[in-house]
Amino acid sequence: MDQHYRKEQIGEWYNAYNNDIYNYIYFLIGDHELAKDVLQDTFLRAYSNFESFQGDNVRGWLFRIARNLTIDYIRKKKPLLFLVDSFPIIHATEPNPEQIAMLNEAEQELYMGLSKLKRAYRDVIILRKIKEFSISETADILGWTENKVKVNLFRGIKALRKELEKGAYRHETV
């Protein structure tokens, strides 16, 4: 495979998907600088594994790499079995000021509500609702069955609505 072509292709993919992948990672880990690092590593991994991309869904492939790199990072940083702050590293009482400041009240509440959910729910809600992947694409990225995606999405939305109704994070900040 021609190296020049490969680099050009990575450049095109980066232009097309950089924000899409950046904010996906950000929703997973809640850390701007770290999300930038993982974004960078995602495209470098895509470059070094270029030949392994066989399909036509490059967006899904890049998201799968991004998710695996994010989990790798968390595993490396937290090989402790007990998660001491819910994955991701979001502290619901301490929103990242730069990124959150630009959100309106409803969006901030949604962000905080998401951070309170268990990982499986958050995973599926981010991909299906925020990133708008199909059920089949979401199943591919997460390595789940489509049925599992549907069940977790249903339960996740229910749990999210409950969190939003509780508004617990608001009171904690006071």
Partner 1 sequence: MKQFDQLDELNQTFVSINHKVKLTEIEKNEVFGEIKKRMNDMPPKPTKNTVQWKYLLASVAVTLLLVVTVIPILTNSGKDFLGINDQNPSNSSSDSNLVVSDAKEEYLVVKIINNTDVDIPQLELNVYQNGELKATQGSMNADGSPVEIGDYFEFTFTKEELTGVTSLEAVIIDPIPNKGRALFSSEMITLTVTEDKEYVFEINGSPKSNVYLQSVEPDISIESNKKKETINTTIHKKENEIAAMVQENVTLGLRKEQVESLLGKNYHEGISNMDGREYWRYDFGNKDYQYPNDDGEIGDTKALMNGELQAQVLLYWDKEENLNAFSVLFQNQKDGKVYIYYVLSDKSSGKSEIQVE
Is residue 61 a contact residue for partner 1 (CB under 8 A)? yes
Is residue 53 a contact residue for partner 1 (CB under 8 A)? yes
Return the axis-axis angle of helices 32-48 and 58-77, rounded to nearest 10°: 120
Q: Which of 5, 12, 16, 72 binds partner 1 (CB under 8 A)?
A: 72
Is residue 174 a contact residue for partner 1 (CB under 8 A)? no
Closest to 100 (Cα-Cα) out of 25, 38, 17, 31: 31
Q: Which of 5, 16, 130, 173 binds partner 1 (CB under 8 A)?
A: 130
Q: b/e per residue, 67-84, with b = 16+ CB within 10 A?
A: bebbeebbeeeeeeeeee
Interacting positions 10-49 with partner 1 (CB under 8 A): 10-11, 14, 18-19, 22-23, 26-27, 36, 39-40, 43-45, 47-49
* Nearest-angstrom CA–CA distance, 35 and 66: 10
Q: Which of 84, 97, 171, 174 binds partner 1 (CB under 8 A)?
A: 84
Q: Which of 9, 99, 135, 150 binds partner 1 (CB under 8 A)?
A: 99
Q: How far is the CB of 110 from partner 1 (least distance, A)?
A: 5
* Nearest-angstrom CA–CA distance, 103 and 111: 9
Q: Which of 28, 29, 90, 110 binds partner 1 (CB under 8 A)?
A: 110
* Nearest-angstrom CA–CA distance, 139 and 34: 25
Is residue 151 a contact residue for partner 1 (CB under 8 A)? no
